[in-house]
């Protein structure tokens, strides 16, 4: 027959409490050692152009996610516009003084930032240009960006096929970024080459700088239409500019079915309000997620003993359209909405 | 899949009768886990359609083959399951179902190593085949685990675990799979080797919940297999249909149209739940991990609405309520087609409120007045589950062909319109017409 032990307090030895405390301290110390042992602290700075454009907001959020994934401290700074050089120069110098390990910077001016970047690199900071390359590109350790020329060529090639399908004689308007910013210049070059024309071609009705801003694009498009009401192909450097151009053409009573509008970006606002209904015929979707995630990851790996990032990383671009053209590789609008940013 | 509550006589003594025979309490508890398990597996499958589309970069139609494999197995195994129960008893049926489903779950391991989509479809088919047998056996098994007087209460308790499992299934997908999937944007710049590595990693995420479910099923199998239990065997006399029952049922328009309505009801339910996550991603632009919560919300709406409908069924005529909710469902589907924003997504979630009463209501309306033929007729209504296998493929094809995810919701809209037509038919047609037709046969 079994006997049952009477319930009650167990006898305690005098040394049991200190022993338990000692074991606990040892465990805590061991755990702390384990958590610190493999991973060196890494601080990365991210400097974007501005915070009103959802592209830069998305890049910042993606960088925060990547920093979380790779156990990195992320500090951020931004300018007030796509051409605010001063704020970026100041941010690079401040981050360098604060001892960050690496900086991801989207230059507002490909040349004007180079001296500050060289100072940072001389102090041992890894610098990666994201979205926009520096001039010269050797001023930074690496460039992680959309192949802007290819992005332009994709929408240029699409526009050419659409023009041929519509059977119209093209009158082309070019809504550019601003002088001195490589990303805008490369997109324009790409568009012209994809469309099969060169600078100075007579089909080019005119071009304006928009700084990627919707309001400036409206002003510019009105000027271009005043000079040539027959414009029927519109290239815009980004989607806010495209939305501005479309609004002006609608106000002017232009039948959008006979106009081809193409752009570069892949943001959610334009994808849902312009690409999905077909006002914006096609856009080259770029991926700030890849710039931010790869930038944070590669700096963290380099600081922790891996290879230092170098060269150029193409962060990808995809043509998205509601109306696919035969022979032009593209994705549909649901893909664009799934992968849009902002 | 929702199943109707059993109809068993309840007398004044039911309050005194024990819910479960004392010797069968542990097996009963284990069967409750089975009810939860097949709910979890079924609704985890809804999550899988979007997951496989992402991992294998395939069309909506191809991804919807997941539901074809799952519900196709349920349809094909319904009759063999009944045969197993009659020939070898409920325990054998439950063990066969548990074993087969566990094998299906473990088949995900080699499938994820092979990186072949079709292998996953085979695994799902085997898993669903097992669950079909399990469900067919477990329902009468539960009824037989105590007095006849408490059978309804017992079965209702057991079936309450099905939606619990369904919610757990979606939760598993929303928490363990969707947030960790490799993004399509990241794949844009990957080399073929990197894409293969990402597929392996993502399929590893899919593997976890299924192997977990399989492990639980094996545990339940062991606990039931090695426990002595005396459970009544199904009597052959009850199971054999009376002569000419098929012809009589076919001639009964309320029953015949009821089977058709049930086919389209199950189709609408599967279509809506299969493409909820995909709608949230493709139309509204939610991240996969955010999109999963809208499917979870759909199931909760379904659950809550079901209780509300039970109350309303006590006030309104079932066919009238069926008509109102079917029309409401059609409106929700059409809103989701035209409102390409959060309003459209809320409409997709609201479809579940319309669906909540349909399976048991169509079941009851179609079988009303069939007498002894109801037992055989019920099988036809359950086999209408085939709608869940076929119509999601149609919806996927519409989405692919049009390039518009939202447009696919015309398919569940059409399905629910058929249900509405059935309700209208029942309201406008007197039973005596069918009874008159049946009279010579009876």
pTM metric for this prediction: 0.86
Q: Do A340 and B285 touch (CB under 8 A)?
A: yes
For residue A334, the chain B residue with the least C-alpha distance is: B282
Q: Do A337 and B284 touch (CB under 8 A)?
A: yes
- Same domain? For B221 and B258 the reply is no
What pLDDT score was predicted for residue B318? 92
- Same domain? For B197 and B278 the reply is no
Q: Chain A: give the shortest CA distance to residue B417, in Å.
A: 27
Distance CA A1, CA B259 (A): 64
Q: Do B340 and A268 touch (CB under 8 A)?
A: no
ipTM of this complex prediction, to 2 decimal places: 0.85
User: A50-90, pLDDT tens digit by residue?
Assistant: 888 888 999 999 999 999 999 999 999 998 887 899 999 99
pLDDT band at A205 (very low <50, low <70, confident <90, very high): very high
Is the separation of the CB atoms in B264 and B415 below 8 Å? Answer: yes
Domain with B125, as residue range(s), is: 22-229
Q: Do B183 and A272 touch (CB under 8 A)?
A: no
- Same domain? For B224 and B341 the reply is no
Give the residue from A253, A241, A237 showing the smallest Cα distance to A183.
A237
- Same domain? For B211 and B289 the reply is no
Tokens of B103: 């094998």
A78: left (phi over 0), alpha (psi -120 to 50) or beta: beta
What pLDDT score was predicted for residue A182? 82
Domain endpoint, select from B178, B195, B229: B229
- Tell whether B340 is covered by a domain: yes
- Same domain? For B265 and B118 the reply is no
- Same domain? For B141 and B190 the reply is yes
- Tell whether B407 is covered by a domain: yes
Question: Domain tally for chain B?
Answer: 2
- Same domain? For B192 and B250 the reply is no
What pLDDT score was predicted for residue B374? 79
- Same domain? For B298 and B442 the reply is yes
Residue A74's H or E segment, with its range, is: strand A73-78
Domain A148-285+318-338: CATH superfamily, name plus number: Response regulator (3.40.50.2300)
The one-character DSSP state at A12 is -
Q: Chain B: give the shortest CA distance to residue A321, in Å.
A: 10
What pLDDT score was predicted for residue B235? 52
- Tell whether B4 is covered by a domain: no
User: Which residues of B touch chain A, with CB atoms under 8 Å apart?
Assistant: 183-186, 188-189, 281-285, 340-341, 399, 403-405
What pLDDT score was predicted for residue B288? 92
- Same domain? For B143 and B213 the reply is yes
Q: Do B285 and A322 touch (CB under 8 A)?
A: no
Q: Find where tokens 């098929």 sit.
A: B246
Q: Do B185 and A272 touch (CB under 8 A)?
A: no
For residue A273, the chain B residue with the least C-alpha distance is: B340
Half-sphere exposure of A229 (CA within 13 A, CB side): 5
- Same domain? For B278 and B344 the reply is yes
Distance CA B339, CA B331 (A): 12
Of B183, B285, B399, the CB nearest to A337: B285
Domain endpoint, select from B201, B229, B257: B229
**CATH code assigned at B139:** 1.20.1250.20
Distance CA A295, CA A102 (A): 9
Tokens of A145: 């960006």
User: B325-373, pLDDT tens digit by residue?
Assistant: 999 999 999 999 999 999 999 999 999 999 999 998 998 889 888 877 8
Scanning A290-319 for CB atoms below 8 A from B yields 290, 293, 313-318
- Tell whether B321 is covered by a domain: yes
User: A143-187, pLDDT tens digit by residue?
Assistant: 999 999 999 999 999 999 999 999 999 999 999 999 878 889 999
What pLDDT score was predicted for residue B17? 64
Flag whether residue A276 sits within 8 Å of chain B, measured between CB atoms.
Answer: yes
Domain with CATH 3.40.50.2300 in chain A: 43-146+288-309, 148-285+318-338
- Same domain? For B215 and B249 the reply is no
First-to-last CA distance in chain A?
A: 74
Q: State which fold the A43-146+288-309 domain adopts.
A: Rossmann fold (3.40.50)
What pLDDT score was predicted for residue B242? 64
Average pLDDT along chain A: 89
Of A290, A314, A337, the CB nearest to B185: A290
Q: Do B403 and A316 touch (CB under 8 A)?
A: no
Quick one: CA torsion of A200, A203, A208, A209, rounded to 10 degrees? -70
What pLDDT score was predicted for residue A146? 95
Q: Which residues of A touch B282 (CB under 8 A)?
A: 334, 337-338
For residue A188, CA distances in Å to A174, A197, A282, A328 come to 8, 11, 15, 19
Q: Chain A: give the shortest CA distance to residue B95, in Å.
A: 37
Is the separation of the CB atoms in B59 and B396 below 8 Å? Answer: yes
Domain endpoint, select from B194, B229, B264: B229
- Same domain? For B36 and B178 the reply is yes
Which residues, given as ranges, of chain B have pLDDT below 50? 1-14, 237, 436-442
Q: Chain B: give the shortest CA distance to residue A225, in Å.
A: 32
């Amino acid at each position: 027959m079994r006997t049952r032990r009477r319930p009650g307090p167990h006898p305690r030895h005098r040394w049991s409490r200190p022993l338990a405390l000692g074991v606990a301290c040892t465990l805590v110390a061991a755990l702390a050692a384990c958590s610190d042992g493999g991973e060196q602290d890494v601080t990365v700075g991210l400097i974007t152009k501005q915070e009103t454009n959802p592209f830069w907001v998305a890049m910042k959020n993606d960088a925060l996610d990547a920093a979380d994934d790779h156990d990195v401290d992320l500090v951020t700074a931004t300018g007030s516009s796509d051409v605010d050089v001063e704020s970026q120069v100041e941010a690079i110098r401040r981050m360098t003084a604060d001892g960050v390990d690496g900086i991801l910077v989207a230059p507002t001016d490909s040349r004007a930032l180079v001296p500050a970047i060289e100072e940072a690199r001389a102090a041992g900071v890894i610098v990666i240009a994201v979205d926009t390359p520096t001039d010269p590109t050797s001023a930074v350790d690496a460039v992680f960006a959309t192949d802007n020329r290819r992005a332009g060529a994709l929408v240029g090639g699409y526009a050419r096929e659409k023009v041929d399908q519509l059977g119209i004689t093209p009158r082309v308007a070019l809504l550019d970024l601003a002088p001195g910013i490589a990303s805008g210049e490369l997109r324009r070059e790409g568009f012209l080459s994809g469309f099969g024309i060169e600078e100075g071609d007579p089909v080019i009705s005119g071009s304006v700088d928009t700084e990627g801003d919707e309001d400036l694009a409206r002003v510019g498009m009105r000027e271009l239409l005043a000079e040539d009401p027959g414009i029927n192909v519109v290239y815009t450097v980004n989607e806010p500019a495209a939305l501005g151009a479309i609004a002006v053409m609608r106000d002017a009573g232009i039948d959008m079915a006979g106009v081809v509008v193409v752009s570069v970006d892949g943001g959610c606002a334009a994808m849902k309000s312009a690409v999905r209904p077909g006002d914006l015929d096609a856009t080259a979707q770029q991926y700030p997620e890849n710039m931010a995630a790869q930038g944070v990851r590669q700096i963290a790996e380099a600081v922790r003993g891996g290879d230092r990032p170098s060269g150029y990383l193409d962060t990808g671009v995809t043509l998205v359209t509601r109306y696919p053209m035969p022979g032009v590789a593209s994705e549909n609008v649901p893909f664009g909405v799934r992968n849009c940013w902002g | 899949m929702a199943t109707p509550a059993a109809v068993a006589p309840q007398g004044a003594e039911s309050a005194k009768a024990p819910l479960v025979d004392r010797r069968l309490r542990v097996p009963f508890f284990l069967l409750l886990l089975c009810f939860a398990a097949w709910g979890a597996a079924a609704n985890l499958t809804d999550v899988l359609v979007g997951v496989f589309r992402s991992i294998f970069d395939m069309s909506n139609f191809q991804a919807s083959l997941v539901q074809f494999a799952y519900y196709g197995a349920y349809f094909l195994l319904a009759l063999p399951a009944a045969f197993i129960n009659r020939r070898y008893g409920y325990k054998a049926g439950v063990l066969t179902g548990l074993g087969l489903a566990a094998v299906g779950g473990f088949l995900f391991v080699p499938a994820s190593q092979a990186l072949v989509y079709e292998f996953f479809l085979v695994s799902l088919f085997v898993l669903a085949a097992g669950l079909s047998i399990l469900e067919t056996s477990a329902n009468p098994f539960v009824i037989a685990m105590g007095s006849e007087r408490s059978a309804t209460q017992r079965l209702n308790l057991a079936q309450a675990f099905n939606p619990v499992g369904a919610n757990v299934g979606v939760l598993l997908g929303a928490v363990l799979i969707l947030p960790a999937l490799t993004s399509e944007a990241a794949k844009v710049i990957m080399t073929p080797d990197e894409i293969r590595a990402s597929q392996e990693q993502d399929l590893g995420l899919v593997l976890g919940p299924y192997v977990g479910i399989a492990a639980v099923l094996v545990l339940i199998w062991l606990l039931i297999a090695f426990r002595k239990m005396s459970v009544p065997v199904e009597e052959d006399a009850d199971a054999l249909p009376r002569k000419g029952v098929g012809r009589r049922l076919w001639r009964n328009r309320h029953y015949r149209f009821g089977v058709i309505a049930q086919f389209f009801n199950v189709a609408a339910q599967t279509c809506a739940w299969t493409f909820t996550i995909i709608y949230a991603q493709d139309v509204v632009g939610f991240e996969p991990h955010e999109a999963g919560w809208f499917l979870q919300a759909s199931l909760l709406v379904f659950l809550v609405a079901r209780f509300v409908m039970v109350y309303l069924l006590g006030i309104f005529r079932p066919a009238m309520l069926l008509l109102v909710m079917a029309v409401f469902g059609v409106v929700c589907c059409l809103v989701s087609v035209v409102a390409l924003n959060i309003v459209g997504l809320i409409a997709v979630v609201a479809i579940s409120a319309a669906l909540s009463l349909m399976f048991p209501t169509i079941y009851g309306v179609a079988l009303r007045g069939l007498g002894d033929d109801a037992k055989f007729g019920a099988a036809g209504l359950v086999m209408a589950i085939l709608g869940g296998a076929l119509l999601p493929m149609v919806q996927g094809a519409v989405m692919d062909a049009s390039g518009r995810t939202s447009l696919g919701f015309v398919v569940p809209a059409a399905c629910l319109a058929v249900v509405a037509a059935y309700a209208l038919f029942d309201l406008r047609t007197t039973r005596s017409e069918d009874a008159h037709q049946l009279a010579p046969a009876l």
